[in-house]
């Protein structure tokens, strides 16, 4: 279809993205480093992960759709090559640290990304969300490519509803008997699928026009009430709210208050390194939980290690990956992975 022009490339940039990733990782940190007396923060990280899931589904699907628009086809091999270099090297650094310096055994579920089905040491339990995403990446891109967007839309929508119903029917069991079962892909994939639905629907001018009319502030308030109300089991409609908010924010004009806040440079920087922050925060968080150590120095340690991981591992290794068309690359650089 030819080389994309500058207007196409500029439209591929998704405003407020790094800000939302920062919000998501902050919810995780508030949960994992919480002081015992602040019980309202208990399990708030679940909602941060849900934001990450919706973002990932939305961005992965946007990447694939725009790669096809700009190049005329999607290379699944190149896609998986880029995903491997985006996710695995930084994760491997954390796992090798655990193995070499702490002599932690049983890391295979992390390396093979099925930690959401096998419970191991708390130092690697946070890999459950990465496992959900990696399992999702294996299934969704071929569905989108081979079924085409219109059919894939109905697969994603029906799949999201099915997962939401399956989780809703077992809410009591998750809350009172086996909360860890709710981390399995068949009970969490609805957030990823709702993100996919959003990406496909945004191709429609009619949907974008409707989305632009949705009042964001009241929707954000409802989402805040949802986060404060639900703890162990995240409701299906929370993912829908997140998708509406993310889609609405992507359409905001430059200079609007919400967009300006989300693009604040310190927040955007935190969003850029959020994957490495998520990987490494588990170790200081476990120290904090076991020893009741002061959270501030441990958070500073987390940010320092995460920044080193981002600038020394994540960014350099992306250059070795298979190249995508220019439009797809600009989106690929923004993908949230945790």
How do residues 97-153 score in pLDDT, each as one tens digit?
Answer: 999 988 888 888 898 999 999 887 889 999 999 999 999 999 999 999 999 999 999
- In this predicted model, which residue has the larger pLDDT, 234 or 106? 234
**Residue pLDDT, tens place only, 273-332:** 999 999 999 999 998 877 778 888 999 999 999 999 999 999 888 776 555 554 444 444
Separation between Cα atoms, residue 82 and residue 266, nearest integer Å: 27
Above pLDDT 70, what percent of the chain? 88
CB-CB contact of 124 with 115 (8 Å):
yes
Sequence-distant (6+) residues with CB within 8 A of 135 are 113, 114, 116, 185
Above pLDDT 90, what percent of the chain? 64
Given a cut of 70, whether residue 237 has pLDDT beyond it is yes
Asked which of 32-41, 63-72, 75-84, 151-160 is least confident by mean pLDDT, the reply is 32-41
Burial of 41 (0-12, 13-18, 19+ CB in 10 A): middle
At 5, is the secondary structure helix, strand, or coil?
A: coil
Given a cut of 50, whether residue 11 has pLDDT beyond it is no
**Residue pLDDT, tens place only, 163-209:** 999 999 988 888 878 888 889 999 999 999 999 999 999 999 999 99
CA distances from 103 to 99, 100, 123 (A): 4, 6, 12
pLDDT at 322: 57
- In this predicted model, which residue has the larger pLDDT, 243 or 326? 243
Separation between Cα atoms, residue 278 and residue 130, nearest integer Å: 10
Q: Please state the domain extents for the chain.
A: 20-332
Cα 225–Cα 231–Cα 232 angle in degrees, nearest 5: 150
**Terminal Cα-to-Cα distance of the chain (whole angstroms):** 33
Average pLDDT of the segment spanning 234-242: 95
Given a cut of 70, whether residue 338 has pLDDT beyond it is no
Q: Is 279 left (phi over 0), alpha (psi -120 to 50) or beta?
A: alpha
Given a cut of 50, whether residue 30 has pLDDT beyond it is yes
Nearest to 216 by CA among 187, 185, 244, 186: 244
2 falls in which pLDDT band (50, 70, 90)?
Answer: very low
CB-CB contact of 281 with 30 (8 Å):
no
pLDDT at 43: 78
Given a cut of 90, whether residue 28 has pLDDT beyond it is yes
Helices (H) and strands (E) in the chain, counts: 17, 0
Average pLDDT of the segment spanning 72-77: 90
At 220, is the secondary structure helix, strand, or coil?
A: helix
pLDDT at 72: 86
Sequence-distant (6+) residues with CB within 8 A of 63 are 79, 324, 328, 331, 332, 335
Average pLDDT of the segment spanning 79-107: 91
Separation between Cα atoms, residue 97 and residue 104, nearest integer Å: 9
pLDDT at 41: 62
- In this predicted model, which residue has the larger pLDDT, 72 or 211? 211
CB-CB contact of 185 with 133 (8 Å):
no
Nearest to 247 by CA among 192, 209, 297: 209
């Amino acid at each position: 279809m030819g080389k994309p022009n500058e207007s196409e490339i500029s439209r591929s940039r998704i405003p407020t993205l790094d800000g939302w990733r920062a919000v998501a990782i902050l919810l995780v940190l508030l949960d994992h480093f919480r002081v015992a007396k602040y019980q309202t923060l208990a399990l708030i990280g679940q909602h941060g992960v849900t934001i990450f899931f919706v973002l990932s589904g939305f961005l992965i699907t946007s990447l694939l759709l725009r790669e096809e628009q700009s190049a005329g086809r999607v290379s699944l091999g190149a896609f998986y090559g880029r995903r491997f270099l985006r996710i695995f090297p930084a994760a491997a650094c954390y796992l090798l640290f655990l193995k070499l310096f702490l002599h932690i055994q049983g890391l295979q579920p992390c390396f093979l990304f099925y930690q959401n089905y096998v419970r191991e040491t708390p130092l690697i339990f946070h890999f459950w969300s990465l496992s959900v995403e990696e399992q999702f990446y294996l299934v969704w891109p071929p569905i989108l490519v081979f079924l085409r967007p219109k059919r894939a839309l109905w697969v994603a929508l029906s799949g999201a509803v099915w997962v939401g119903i399956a989780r809703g029917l077992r809410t009591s069991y998750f809350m009172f008997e086996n909360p860890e079962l709710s981390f399995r892909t068949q009970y969490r994939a609805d957030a990823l699928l709702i993100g996919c639905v959003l990406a496909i629907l945004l191709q429609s001018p009619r949907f974008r026009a409707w989305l632009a009319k949705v009042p964001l502030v009241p929707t954000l308030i409802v989402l805040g009430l949802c986060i404060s109300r639900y703890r162990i089991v995240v409701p299906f409609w929370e993912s829908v709210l997140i998708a509406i908010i993310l889609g609405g924010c992507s359409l905001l004009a430059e200079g609007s208050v919400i967009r300006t806040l989300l693009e604040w440079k310190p927040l955007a920087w935190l969003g850029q390194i959020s994957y490495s922050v998520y990987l490494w925060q588990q170790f200081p968080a476990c120290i904090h939980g076991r020893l009741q150590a002061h959270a501030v120095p441990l958070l500073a340690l987390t940010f320092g290690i995460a920044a080193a991981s981002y600038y020394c591992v994540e960014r350099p290794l992306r250059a070795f990956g298979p190249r995508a068309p220019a439009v797809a690359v600009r989106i690929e650089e923004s993908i949230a992975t945790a």
